[in-house]
Amino acid sequence: MARQEKQKRKLLALVRIFESETDEAHRLTVPQLAEKLEAQGIPCERKSIYTDIDALREMGYEILLQRGRGGGYWLAHRTFELAELKLLVDAVQSCRFIPQEKTGALIGKLEQLASHYQAAQLQRQVYVAGRPRSQNPQILYSIDALHEAINTGRQVSFHYANGKDHTVSPWQLAWDGGSYYLIAYQEYDSKAGVRHYRVDRMSRVQVLQDKPCAGGALHESFNLPAYLKKHFNMYGGPEYRVTLRCAPELREAMLDRFGRETILIDEPDGSFHFTTPVCVSGPFLGWVCGFEGKVVVTAPAEVRARLALLSRRMADVYGC
């Protein structure tokens, strides 16, 4: 039994050496492997390492050998390729809802999935300099609690940044504009319906095990992609079916924003128009104005009136 335990320890140590100290550009010979094992207090005969490598190969580890000068053994396949780890590191660094100190910890864990040499490359990936980051140290625990509530169909309570406490039925988590949002059903304080909350502005999230989620019928018909498309920067507002007339060169931009299934109707002058549900808010009006007349709201009259009022206010502000 003692011999079997020693062999297990030896194989585990050998795996860790291959994972942390080898890659295609950094190989180890059998004498070097034996030296590293002995440094860990695991004496071994060099010839036994060949048998150990064969055993690891049978277990699924892709350990390759390059013969000749500068050759040796290395671990050729990992759970994540270096390019995939770089992508994950970029994503973690770009997420403004993750506090800076937690970002470093997560990247450190990702580095453990690469060799020491490859891990150095992960530190040189793109960084979104100056981007405001969340100061909420509870964010990852909040996300975990929300996933639990969604999976078990239970309500949650939390304190929000506006100073209020809320109890809602969580439906889904959504990513939009660099922030994480909880999409939930709320049935108090105002007309019952779907609401959304920025997760990094939530604290003291608790799963209410004795309260099953409400709003079942509405939940079954809820369409998350459609909900996200009609909310600009996740701002709420009265919902209208808005008709937009656009310049020809904006065809791809509109399909990217509203979805490839959007029906675009061509007009004789080369422009096109389409109708889509929109929660009309300040960000939506600003989005229209940002196209400098290449996007025109043709209906309904209420939304055109709001744009006209905004134009007059801007003219007053800038003395036009």
- Predicted confidence band of residue 131 (pLDDT cuts 50, 70, 90): low
Q: How many domains does the chain have?
A: 4
Contact assessment for residue 256 and residue 209, using Cβ atoms and an 8 Å cutoff: no
Residue 213 predicted with pLDDT over 60 = yes
> Does residue 127 lie within any of the structural domains?
no
Q: Which of 54, 75, 96 is the last residue of a domain?
A: 75
- Cα–Cα distance for residue pair 278/276, rounded to 1 Å: 6
Give Cβ neighbours of residue 43 (< 8 Å, ≥ 6 apart).
37
Domain membership of residue 153 (yes or no) is yes
CB 226 within 8 A of CB 267: no
Question: What pLDDT, in 10s, does the model give residues 169-196?
Answer: 999 999 887 788 999 999 876 677 899 9
- Regarding whether 249 and 218 lie in a shared domain, the answer is no
* Residue 256 belongs to some domain of the structure: yes
Question: In the prediction, which pLDDT does 1 show?
Answer: 43
Q: What is the mean pLDDT of residues 127-138?
A: 61
pLDDT of 200 over the 80 cut: yes
Question: Which of 222, 255, 282 lies at the terminal end of a domain, its last residue?
Answer: 222
Q: Are residues 200 and 270 in the same domain?
A: no
Least confidently predicted of 7-11, 39-43, 128-132: 128-132
Q: What is the mean pLDDT of the chain?
A: 89
For residue range 238-270, list pLDDT tens digits in order: 999 999 999 999 999 999 999 999 999 999 999
Same structural domain, 177 and 195 = yes
Last residue within a domain, chosen from 59, 75, 91: 75
Q: Which CATH number characterizes residue 36's domain?
A: 1.10.10.10
| Any domain includes 71 | yes
Q: What values do phi and psi take at 97, rounded to 5?
A: -80, -10
> What pLDDT, on a 0 to 100 scale, did the predictor assign at position 197?
94
Q: Based on the domain organization, do 170 and 190 belong to the same domain?
A: yes
One domain for residues 190 and 243: no
* Residue 169 in domain: yes
Q: Residue 166: inside a domain, yes or no?
A: yes
Is 32 inside any structural domain?
yes
**Is the pLDDT score of 129 beyond 90?**
no
CATH of the domain at 180: 2.30.30.100
**Higher pLDDT, residue 166 or 44:** 166
What is residue 117's predicted lDDT score, i.e. its pLDDT?
A: 86
Structural domain range at position 146 = 139-222
Residue 92 pLDDT level (bands cut at 50, 70, 90): confident
CATH number, domain with residue 265: 3.30.70
In this prediction the pTM is 0.67
Residue 47 lies in a domain: yes
Confidence band, pLDDT 50/70/90 cuts, at residue 105: confident
Q: Are residues 310 and 256 in the same domain?
A: yes
